[in-house]
Amino acid sequence: MEKKQLSEAFFLEKMQAAKIHFERALECKHTEFDDLYPYMIEHPQFFWYKRYVAWSELLTLVGLCEELSMEWKDSFTDQQVSYIEQRVMSSKVLDEWFEKEHVS
């Protein structure tokens, strides 16, 4: 098995993947979490929990980047950075994450 170098590029790639995971969870789209817990789709709290898991993943990577003095903010809008820095996944985050950049 090949050993990966823990570079800034590695962390930024993981950050981008976590951002996409969170955004897919916000939009109730399929994520790998659905494959891990397929029975949860039947439960109403599933989408809230799925979003919480994705948000936690995103915050974990932000924390690691900050601890390693790596710039992570370039991947996000100013408003998204503000939400992440507040660390609380509120209804405002859920409702306004995409701002005007999101077009369905």
CA distance 46 to 93: 18
pLDDT of residue 17: 94
Please work out, in degrees rounded to the nearest 5, the angle formed at the alpha carbon of residue 4 by the alpha carbons of 76 and 12. Answer: 5
pLDDT tens-digit series, residues 45-82:
777 888 999 999 999 999 999 999 999 999 999 999 99
pLDDT tens-digit series, residues 2-53:
666 678 888 889 999 999 999 999 988 888 777 777 777 677 677 788 899 9
pTM value? 0.80
